[in-house]
Amino acid sequence: MEPLLGRIAAAFDAVGVHYAVVGSVASSFHGEPRGTQDIDILARILSYDVASLASQFPEDEFYFDRDMVLDSLKSRQPFNIIDLRTMWKADVILPKEPYAGEQLARRQRVDLAGVPLYIATAEDTVISKMRWSKLAESERQINDVAGIVRVRGETLDRGLIEGLVARFGLEAEWARVLAIAAG
């Protein structure tokens, strides 16, 4: 995973794309590690960034479909970047709502397995995973969040989390997380 993650982070940094690694990679960084099939990245990409990004991903090494990316920018649907050597896949998620912009504003620069990159905060990872759990009724998401709570403990900004829990109606999910984290 690290070679693709490093390549994307370097490309997005070079082009000036605001991004944050989210999803299971972020929850593993902030909490308890678990395996994942892909890398999720929230990114604010503009149409004039696409040509520069395409040049960062040579077609003999990566799947990066410039036309698909441009279509994704219009429809606000995710697109993929695939490392053809390893077949690791990144799902690039485009912001659709104000909260996504808030996540990008709070992102943190970290070193993840030797790769310098931006990642969503622990608090935003908690909220995003609980939102996914509510939509998909996924216990895996709740367990990921409980792992963050166990590992981060009192360092989490509970005020921010509880405000976002109320904003998104996640009280039941948050109660389940706290119960699981407590054992």
- Predicted local distance difference test score (pLDDT) of residue 138: 79
pTM attached to this predicted model: 0.94
pLDDT higher than 80, residue 1: no
User: What pLDDT was estimated at residue 136?
Assistant: 86
Find all residues with CB under 8 Å of 175, minimum gap 6, and list them.
Answer: none
Instruction: Dump the DSSP string for 157-174.
Output: -HHHHHHHHHHHT-HHHH
Q: Is the pLDDT of residue 176 over 80?
A: yes
- Tens-digit pLDDT profile for residues 132-166: 999 887 789 999 999 999 999 999 999 999 999 99
Helical H runs in the chain?
2-15, 23-30, 50-56, 66-75, 98-106, 122-136, 139-152, 158-168, 171-182
| pLDDT tens profile 7-53 | 999 999 999 999 999 999 999 999 999 888 789 999 999 999 999 99
Q: Of 183 and 105, which is predicted with more confidence? A: 105
What pLDDT, in 10s, does the model give residues 79-138? 999 999 999 999 999 999 999 999 999 999 999 989 999 999 999 999 999 999 998 877
| 104 neighbors 18 (Cβ within 8 angstroms) | yes
pLDDT band at residue 182 using 50, 70 and 90 as cut-offs: very high
What is residue 35's predicted lDDT score, i.e. its pLDDT? 82
**Where do the CATH 3.30.460 domains begin and end in the chain?**
2-120
Which fold does the domain 2-120 belong to in CATH?
A: Beta Polymerase; domain 2 (3.30.460)
